[in-house]
């Protein structure tokens, strides 16, 4: 008698649990770390840099499987290049140089979810990214000098994809991690591609829309 009763209970309870994903809204906070390969003004070469950042995301699920979202992320790091020519207060200097780089990205995406309590995820997104390249710090062989008028702004059209694993702590809280990559559309701004890891927490609620 106990086995049929347990089976009947599971049949009744399981759909209700799965349906908790449907029509839920959420707010996410992310910590980001990764490796960026990027181009820059005054050089045809690319450089690799470690970048750290944060992101905030708002999402809404229309079904148990699909979640739609908008995300704002900011990243910062410092990149080194082998050679560039710049104007300085002491004249024109050619040599290795470095720049501080900050990026802000706004994108819209869709996340495919494969569970309720333990949730594998796949997200794809498309957005725009603004990049600030700080003034070049040039090594002239004797010292490091700051190039005048060398800071610049850039704009990217960028796509990204990530795969992750979330854990539903309770009805309101989900935590997780993901690994992903992004790539700027060639011909729109300087080169940019990244590989990153994120840790995140999300608050879920159920608006009556």
The C-alpha atoms of residue 127 and residue 107 are separated, in whole angstroms, by 4
Residue 84 has pLDDT above 90, yes or no: no
Q: How far is CA 24 from the centre of its chain?
A: 22
The C-alpha atoms of residue 185 and residue 193 are separated, in whole angstroms, by 10
Strand residues in the chain grouped as ranges (E): 25-38, 47-61, 66-88, 91-113, 118-133, 137-139, 144-146, 152-168, 173-184, 192-205
Q: Name the average pLDDT for the chain.
A: 86
Locate 91 and state its tokens: 């004249």
pLDDT, position 7? 41
pLDDT in tens, 125-171: 999 999 999 988 888 777 888 887 778 899 999 999 999 999 999 98
Mean local confidence (pLDDT), 70-78: 97
Alpha-carbon dihedral sign for residues 30, 24, 123, 189: negative
Residue 181 has pLDDT above 80, yes or no: yes
CB atoms within 10 A of CB 168: 20
Locate 176 and state its tokens: 């997780």
pLDDT, position 21? 59
Q: How far is CA 18 from CA 25, 70, 111, 150, 168, in A?
A: 15, 24, 16, 55, 12
Q: Looking at the whole model, is its pTM more than 0.85?
A: no
The C-alpha atoms of residue 91 and residue 56 are separated, in whole angstroms, by 44
Residue 22 has pLDDT above 80, yes or no: no
The C-alpha atoms of residue 114 and residue 122 are separated, in whole angstroms, by 9
Count how many Cα atoms sit within 13 Å of the Cα of residue 6 in the half-sphere of its side chain: 3
pLDDT in tens, 40-65: 887 888 899 999 999 999 999 988 88
Residue 9 has pLDDT above 70, yes or no: no
Residue 124: strand pairing partners: 110, 161
pLDDT, position 128? 97
Residue 149 · residue 86 · CB < 8 Å: no
The C-alpha atoms of residue 51 and residue 143 are separated, in whole angstroms, by 26
The C-alpha atoms of residue 198 and residue 182 are separated, in whole angstroms, by 13
pLDDT, position 55? 98
pLDDT higher at 18 or 101: 101
pLDDT higher at 189 or 16: 189
CATH no., domain 23-205? 2.40.160.20
CA angle 14, 112, 169 (to 5 degrees): 50
């Amino acid at each position: 008698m106990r086995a049929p009763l347990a089976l009947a209970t599971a049949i009744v309870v399981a759909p209700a649990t799965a349906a908790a994903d449907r029509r839920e809204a959420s707010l996410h906070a992310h910590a980001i770390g990764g490796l960026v390969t990027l181009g820059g003004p005054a050089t045809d070469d690319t450089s690799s840099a470690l970048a750290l950042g944060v992101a905030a995301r708002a999402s809404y699920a229309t079904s148990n499987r699909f979640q739609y979202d908008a995300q704002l992320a900011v990243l910062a790091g410092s990149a080194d290049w082998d050679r560039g020519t710049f104007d300085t207060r002491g004249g024109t200097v050619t040599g290795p140089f470095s720049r501080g780089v900050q990026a802000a990205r706004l994108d819209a995406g869709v996340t495919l979810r494969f569970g309720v309590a333990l949730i594998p995820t796949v997200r794809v997104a498309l957005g725009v990214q603004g990049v600030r390249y700080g003034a070049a710090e040039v090594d002239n062989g004797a010292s490091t000098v700051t190039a005048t008028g060398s800071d610049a702004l850039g704009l990217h059209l960028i796509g990204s994809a990530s795969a992750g694993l979330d854990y539903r702590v309770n009805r309101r809280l989900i935590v997780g991690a993901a690994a992903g990559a992004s790539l700027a559309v060639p011909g729109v701004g300087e080169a940019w591609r990244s590989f990153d890891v994120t840790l995140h927490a999300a608050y879920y609620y159920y608006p009556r829309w």
